[in-house]
């Protein structure tokens, strides 16, 4: 007997056997049950997800003589004729090979005649987007008002190319891409029925390589069975697909977690000997990082696709922010990999970026440092060393004052250290510090800014002061003319000084002066801003 490929042998014959398209099968079953069938259906989706299969099952169901729970019975003369490919009232057309308007007119000339065997004459047009514009026009009128005994079932991978006038006359169903888990489960069932030995890890590789297409997955399964001499093993599938096993990928991630550049490059060198697809390796790394992130966010998360112990170890070794950064670097590297001089260089640079870059946590650790200077020997005398202390930066001063609550700082420094926001900061900047002790802080506010005082701003300012001084002090604000310079005025003065420096720098520039002298140029007012 002639061998039949798995994709054809195990093609679903009813709605129950469909995999991953429950939203479509449920809708069609309900329509059949209540006899609310549309005259034109359009099935869309990527290749190998079941568009033509669903159309054939629907064509069989609407003509079946004995429906069983909205499914074709498979026993009546209509179902048998369908399975044998000799049902006269199913006109199946490949639009890619019959794009001319003459072909469409010849096809529709017989639409007016009654069906021969079943209740409906069904026109199944595959890849309907390939029809020409004139063919769509010829189809349009019949599609809008077909005879009662005619049903149109259209299938396409590119609905964007179908005119909106045709789309508006069809009931459209979008078939989803299948998940690897769904393809894996179907392969497991088929191999069990075929009594073929297999390894679950090999099916996981095949289901991912199928890229959402059941037909592609079953074609790869056929190839794997032939390549493995009647068995499906991980080793043979890895060789067939040209992929790298999971272990080297785990080794690379552990080298990354240990921050070991030498080990990381050694692992990549070992993989290179297998002539792998580095883009596929990077995709595997991204999948593992995704599972690691899930394990960190959801403790006890279980995924049978990967080794739970490996995922747990990586989740404990890597920081959550590092995992997020690695994933983002990997995504960008996946996009730019083809631009690299060669794939290995591109892959190594992606991994080195993960090793080098660290996430910005917004915290700076400032430590006092000392520099030890050692003068030269003079007359064999004892060596003397001098320690030079580095002066703390303004940021260090700010953090130190915040911790120690020093009262020696100016009011402007205290305002900065309290890290106030919004109107509360404006209120503090427009005050001057009159006095402060362990019981109260007394501020003076100019009457021009009295509108800044509110219950909320005073409460926020009081909290900031109490946190700064580490004391439960009170806040008193009185309104009178301010004689000293407030922090707000200091900021304005500082900005004015910067602006003046920028203006002077432009005006004193030799090139600007040359332009003024030779071309009567002038600097437009308000166009200079300090960097």
Give the domain range for residue 211.
Answer: 180-241
Considering the domain boundaries, does residue 1 fall inside one? no
Q: In angstroms, how far is CA 207 from the centroid of its own chain?
A: 21
pLDDT confidence bin for 42, thresholds 50/70/90: very high
- pLDDT number for residue 378: 42
- 322 sits in the region (left: phi over 0; alpha: psi -120 to 50; else beta) called alpha
Domain shared by 17 and 141, yes or no: yes
- pLDDT number for residue 88: 87
Which of residues 241, 260, 287 is at a domain's end?
241
pLDDT tens-place string over residues 216-261: 999 999 999 998 888 899 888 877 876 655 667 888 888 888 888 8
Is the four-CA dihedral 43, 47, 48, 53 of positive or negative sign?
positive
- Between CA 457 and CA 60 the distance in angstroms is 75
pLDDT tens-place string over residues 262-294: 888 988 888 887 777 888 888 889 988 998 898
What separation, in Å, do the N-terminal and C-terminal C-alpha atoms of the chain show? 82
Query: Does residue 98 carry a pLDDT above 80?
Result: no
Domain shared by 266 and 283, yes or no: yes
- Between CA 292 and CA 283 the distance in angstroms is 14
Q: Are the beta carbons of 259 and 253 closer than 8 angstroms? A: no
Domain shared by 308 and 277, yes or no: yes
Domain shared by 167 and 264, yes or no: no
- Between CA 428 and CA 410 the distance in angstroms is 12
Listed range (41-55, 160-174, 488-502) with the worst mean pLDDT? 488-502
Domain shared by 20 and 164, yes or no: yes
- Between CA 307 and CA 302 the distance in angstroms is 9
| Number of structural domains in the chain | 5
Residue 99: count other Cβ atoms within 10 Å of its Cβ: 15
pLDDT confidence bin for 404, thresholds 50/70/90: very low
Note the residue count of the chain.
531
Domain shared by 159 and 25, yes or no: yes
**Strand locations in 328-406 (E):** 370-373, 386-389
Domain shared by 459 and 513, yes or no: no
Domain shared by 146 and 200, yes or no: no
Domain shared by 143 and 13, yes or no: yes
Domain shared by 229 and 327, yes or no: no
Supply angle C-alpha 35, 40, 44, rounded to 5: 115
- What's the average model confidence in pLDDT over 347-359? 87
- Between CA 335 and CA 321 the distance in angstroms is 22
Q: Are the beta carbons of 432 and 482 closer than 8 angstroms? A: yes
Check: pTM over 0.95? Answer yes or no: no
Mean pLDDT of the chain: 82
Joined together, the tokens standing for residue 80 give: 């048998």
**Strand locations in 246-328 (E):** none
Domain shared by 163 and 148, yes or no: yes
Judged by DSSP in three states, 256 sits in helix
């Amino acid at each position: 007997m002639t061998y039949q490929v798995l994709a054809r042998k195990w093609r679903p014959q009813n709605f129950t056997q469909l995999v991953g398209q429950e939203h479509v099968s449920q809708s069609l079953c309900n329509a059949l049950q209540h006899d609310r069938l549309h005259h034109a259906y359009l099935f869309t989706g990527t290749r190998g997800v079941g568009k033509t299969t669903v159309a054939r099952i629907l064509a069989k169901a609407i003509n079946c003589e004995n429906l069983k729970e909205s499914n074709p019975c498979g026993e009546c003369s209509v179902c048998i004729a369908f399975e044998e490919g000799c049902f006269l009232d199913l006109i199946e057309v490949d639009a890619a090979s019959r794009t001319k308007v003459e072909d469409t007119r010849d096809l529709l000339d017989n639409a007016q005649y009654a069906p021969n065997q079943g209740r409906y004459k069904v026109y199944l047009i595959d890849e309907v987007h390939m029809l020409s514009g004139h063919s769509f026009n010829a189809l349009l009128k019949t599609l809008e008002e077909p005879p009662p005994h005619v049903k149109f079932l259209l299938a396409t991978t590119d609905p964007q190319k179908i005119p909106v006038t045709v789309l508006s006359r069809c009931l459209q169903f979008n078939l989803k891409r299948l998940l690897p888990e769904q393809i894996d489960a179907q392969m497991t069932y088929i191999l069990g029925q075929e009594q073929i030995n297999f390894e679950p890890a090999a099916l996981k590789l095949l289901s991912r390589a199928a890229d959402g297409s059941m037909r592609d997955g079953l074609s790869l399964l056929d190839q794997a069975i032939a390549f493995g001499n009647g068995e499906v093993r991980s080793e043979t599938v890895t060789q067939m697909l040209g992929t790298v096993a999971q272990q080297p990928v785990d080794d690379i991630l552990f080298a990354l977690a240990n921050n070991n550049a030498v080990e990381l490059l050694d692992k990549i060198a070992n993989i290179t000997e297998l002539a792998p697809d580095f883009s596929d390796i990077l995709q595997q790394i991204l999948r593992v990082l995704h599972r690691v992130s899930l394990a960190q966010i959801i403790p006890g998360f279980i995924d049978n696709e990967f080794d739970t112990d490996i995922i747990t170890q990586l989740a404990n070794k890597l920081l959550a922010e590092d995992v997020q950064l690695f994933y983002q670097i990997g995504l960008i590297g996946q996009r730019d990999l083809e631009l690299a001089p060669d794939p290995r260089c591109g892959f190594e640079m992606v991994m080195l970026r993960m090793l080098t870059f660290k996430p910005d946590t917004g915290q700076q650790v400032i430590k006092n440092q000392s520099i030890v200077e050692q003068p030269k020997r003079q007359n064999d005398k004892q060596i003397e060393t001098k320690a030079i202390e580095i002066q703390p930066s303004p940021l260090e001063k700010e953090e130190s004052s915040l911790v120690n609550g020093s009262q020696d700082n100016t009011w402007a420094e205290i305002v900065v250290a309290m890290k106030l926001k919004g109107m509360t900061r404006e209120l503090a900047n427009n005050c001057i510090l009159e006095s402060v002790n362990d019981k109260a802080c007394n501020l003076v506010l100019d009457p021009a800014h009295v509108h800044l005082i509110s219950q909320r701003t005073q409460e926020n300012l009081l909290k900031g002061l109490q946190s700064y001084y580490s004391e439960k002090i009170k806040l008193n604000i009185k309104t009178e003319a301010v004689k000293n310079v407030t922090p707000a005025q200091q900021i304005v003065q500082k900005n004015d000084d910067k602006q003046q420096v920028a203006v002077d720098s432009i005006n004193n520039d030799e090139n600007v002066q040359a332009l003024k002298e030779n071309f009567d140029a002038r600097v437009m007012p308000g166009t200079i801003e300090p960097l």
